[in-house]
Structure 1
């Protein structure tokens, strides 16, 4: 508890640990069951994940999908529960008041940026920018945009050298977009008629008071399933709650998209929150590297599963999978 209080001195930390005893009991019972197999010398009956431990540096993370639709429909809710449990979000915490504040506004030619913050837990502030069309008629789609491990997050600036290279390669057409590709994507979505929320991951931009990689890494924190990944996932769910408070948002047209670490958040939110209707996780879904940061890994998450399985929980709703010349290069296969 001390490690949590250190970083959230003004928050009601009881909300974070209120439901953790059932979680700890489930995990302990699972470990005791497996240990009994070991003591009996029954190694062959142990699951593969117990006999061969995988970590972030493991090159191949296989998953054998069910052979039939009926088998998948039986497995899908269990996978969803496993994901929710791994995030320390089973059962879900109380949805306390968001208390949203718009504390600034920037007007572009045909779009508006609002500077926003809200409370995901009492006293725990989530910050971001809301991009909206300047003219809105009726209700419009809304898109969550969790960013990946870009330096400074939503404030990322590629610098002159990389921006010039992007323009020469044809990846970008103008200097502003080449310098700030994340913000350029938000502007483009607003110009297409959508509301786009670009919010901070833990330890980035205005979320700096909490370190991205160093918090919640003790054995005690892990026992209670209190870790960065779960807190970040809860922030994303609350960000969706915030979008749903906006009267101009069409709650039947909610989407989420992000790349790399943002792709991991995209998969998790899409799997856990039924309000999401379209999901586009970019450069993260594969049987290779599953995420190299504490914000992408938590106890119990990928036991007998991998990112392919996590993304599949969103089925049968539409999902776009994007690969690149990295660990997702074989995605189409």
Structure 2
């Protein structure tokens, strides 16, 4: 298996090394992500890419460079890869799936090309990214979305991978084409070893996120009837940021806000259809279900059920007789 033609075509401009300077250079760099700079006229990026069988490595030395991979770019070939990254010098920041981390030498990071992300280099930094196929991760039981935006301290396998990548991307000893596949095999095995060694941390964080989701659902069930209770109040109750709360439910069927609305609608529907609650007015049911007003309740209920609360009540009353 080798890097596909669509990916190769997009990367040809970086093969062997290319220098990008100033605002025009930012446009030339904008392949998989939109590039910008807080100081565009001082921006400078040297980038080189090397292909090794099914994977490829990119070495970047950049100054004043911000990158954003937005949702509208997620249908390109890069969406099939994860970036396993090492910083050689300087510092950079990454943000993905609600995680924000600063990376320096001695750490490993992972960005999934299938999800939006941001990276920032405000001064100057040099880094290496190994592009690992997502299907390879999945085939070995690693869900890329669970790893997105994570950083961790280097492990023994990460040290070995770092040294090989540093050597083969240095430009002083180019890897012969006849050896590229063998190097790719070594990189593949080391990348899987890095993931294996870091898996305990990922599983621990995944378990923590699952725990927070359960706590969020419990708090919603307890406080949904309070009209002033919203997503910001839920985040405060859990002692997490609204951004992290949003990330907790990424990939779930419902966001935190949608779960709160669904709980209120479900409670209201129970009251509307109940025999013992038939004396309650629609306005009273709206208030008891956590809605701030009749109009808000009517709109939310119609979106969920396709009919008004009064029509829903009438249908269930006629069915009862």
| Same structural fold, with TM-score higher than 0.5 when normalized by the shorter chain | no
Shorter-chain TM-score tier: under 0.3
Larger radius of gyration: 2
TM-score, with normalisation over the residues of structure 2? 0.24
Task: For CA contacts below 8 A with separation 6 or more, give which structure has more relative contact order.
Answer: 1
Which of the pair is proportionally richer in helix? 2
